[in-house]
Amino acid sequence: MQIRIDHVSKAYGDFAAIREVSLTIRKGALVALLGPSGSGKTTLLRVIAGLEHPQQGRVILDGADVTETPVQKRGIGFVFQDYALFEHLSVGDNVAFGLAVRRVPIDEQTSRVRELLARVQLADLAGRMPRELSGGQRQRVALARALAPDPRVLLLDEPFGALDARVRAELRGWLRRLHDELHITSVFVTHDQDEALEVADQLVVLDHGRIEQVGAPAEVLAHPASPFVAEFLGGTHLLRGDVRDGVASFGGLSLPVAGTGPARAFVRVVLENPTRQVGS
Amino acid sequence: MRRTLIGIAIGFFALFLVVPLVVVFATAFRDGVVPYLRAIATPDARAALKLTLVAASIAVPLNIAFGIAAAWAIARFKFPGRRMLVTLIDIPFAVSPVVVGMMFVLLFGAHGYLAGVIHTKIVFAVPGIVLATAFVTIPFVARELIPALEARGPDQELAALTLGATPWQTFWRVTLPGLRWPLAYGAILCTARAIGEFGAVSVVSGHVRGETTTVPLHVEILYNDFQYQAAFAVATLLVMIALATVIVQRVIERSR
């Protein structure tokens, strides 16, 4: 499903979480909303889901304006940061929930739950209660549950935030593969640039409630649109210098520029073959 | 040091809890089992038990419904008067039950403010007893549910909505099952108080034997008539209800 955000603003009291944000996400993409805390990335995700109502602007899914459509009717799947599993229901019943409320026949529910649990490699745990699972397992149950009603778009809020480093790395690769198999339009929120660069096809970098840059990871890395983006993606050094006679000099480095006065240059050191460098 | 403390604790417990319990049962069975059963089986005692159960079976469901609605509103929504409502819920705890009873007499009594509006007999009749019982037991369910709902946060409910559940489905399938232990706990405390309430009910009852006496009032009447054995026999019913309440509480605490 294609997602279009058109001049959306949302404030909580005096705090403007997102301001006049416009964005188009193409069908089948895997997009990362990347930014520091307070940048508005989670608010944007919740506005797309219908969990927050914007004060201004429109949300358009596949050409249909859903700004006033309640969350139940948007056909989205949402994975909460703390998973929000139903603690009183077994793993199987958690996954079946979206089917049960639609009154899908029981045998159909059973086969769908079995299929989804197999897909997230939890086929044996259908009878367990959520409190008996590890963090990584809970995350996968939450994902299976969100996928059960066959949503047109999958929204994930800090999907790997609460997990330890090893499980995180494993789940990243796994989300990527899942997306490659299902081709469902997916948007996830993260504050971790490595995570965004590794998993997403498209980055949306946010700061202070505004979009700083949208693009493919390689493109954003190579051509950061603003000092914020360059700094946030990391590995960037700031050099200060002066411009004289059309040449900016930063110590030993000179670059031709227009204008005069003080100058700043952002320099990223790119290693030709990073893995070998790290290994030696 | 430790022995002294344990000794004091056990001594206190024995003096103030065990001894009175033993006295109640000893007096109740003073003349044997047959007089005990006879005291419980008198028409007045049976009427009192029936009225107590009627009042509790109306007051408790009412306050469960109110408690759920109030807790849901307070924990999930922001609205003007929210803090006021939290404070108001506690009023029945803060006000002396006798004052509660007098308030109902003032409102619904023969010369009360609402006497001209409502023509059903409320004070010195069964409706007054039900009202008084319901009033003094208002806080129990809400008080248990508000912190439970606040601690749980709204995410499970939001998750249900994203999965396509209607607000009612979310309530019945997610909110309520998630609250089952605090709800059971509150309902049990509410029931125990509804059965044991004396002060407020005493004022509105009028003490018409066999008609407007609940079990605690019946105990008082027997006691004032110097029928000690019978009074204590009926009192054992209240003691057993109290013990059952404590046991069920423990079971709930252990299983949550």
pLDDT band at residue A237, thresholds of 50, 70 and 90? low
* Number of C-beta neighbours around residue A160 at 10 A: 24
Give the model confidence (pLDDT) of B123-156 as tens digits.
888 889 999 999 999 999 999 999 999 999 999 9
Flag if B163 and A149 touch (Cβ within 8 Å). yes
| Domains of chain A in sequence order | 3-224 (3.40.50.300), 235-279 (no CATH)
Give the model confidence (pLDDT) of B173-229 as tens digits.
999 999 999 999 999 999 999 999 999 999 998 888 888 899 999 999 999 999 999
Q: Please tell me if residue B96 touches chain A, with a CB cutoff of 8 Å.
A: no
Flag if A86 and B174 touch (Cβ within 8 Å). yes
Domain ranges of chain B: 1-30, 32-255
CATH number among 3.30.565.10, 1.10.3720.10, 2.40.390.10, 1.10.510.10, domain B32-255: 1.10.3720.10
Give the model confidence (pLDDT) of B9-44 as tens digits.
999 988 888 898 899 999 999 998 999 999 999 999
B147: which 2 tokens?
């912190």
Q: What are phi and psi of A207, to 5 degrees?
A: -150, 135
pLDDT of A212 over the 50 cut = yes
pLDDT at B256: 65
The overall longest dimension of chain B from CA atoms, in Å, is 67
Q: What percent of chain B has pLDDT over 70?
A: 100
Chain B: closest CA distance from residue A151 (Å): 9
Q: Please tell me if residue A143 touches chain B, with a CB cutoff of 8 Å.
A: no
Instruction: Report how far residue A133's alpha carbon sits from residue B42's, in angstroms, rounded to the nearest whole number.
Output: 58
Flag if A146 and B163 touch (Cβ within 8 Å). yes
Alpha helices by DSSP H, A90-201:
91-100, 106-119, 135-147, 165-182, 193-199
Instruction: Report how far residue B162's alpha carbon sits from residue A74's, in angstroms, rounded to the nearest whole number.
Output: 8
Mean pLDDT of chain A: 87
Residue of B nearest to A78 (CA): B162
Q: What is the ipTM of this complex?
A: 0.83
Pairing of strands A30-34, A202-207: parallel
Of A184-193, B110-119, B140-149, B206-215, least confident by mean pLDDT is B110-119
Alpha helices by DSSP H, B197-227:
199-205, 215-224
Chain A: closest CA distance from residue B193 (Å): 29
Instruction: Report how far residue B234's alpha carbon sits from residue B21's, in angstroms, rounded to the nearest whole number.
Output: 13
Instruction: Report how far residue A231's alpha carbon sits from residue A225's, in angstroms, rounded to the nearest whole number.
Output: 11
Q: What is the rounded average pLDDT of the residues B70-87?
A: 90
Residue of B nearest to A48 (CA): B162
Flag if A101 and B180 touch (Cβ within 8 Å). no
Pairing of strands A253-256, A210-215: unpaired
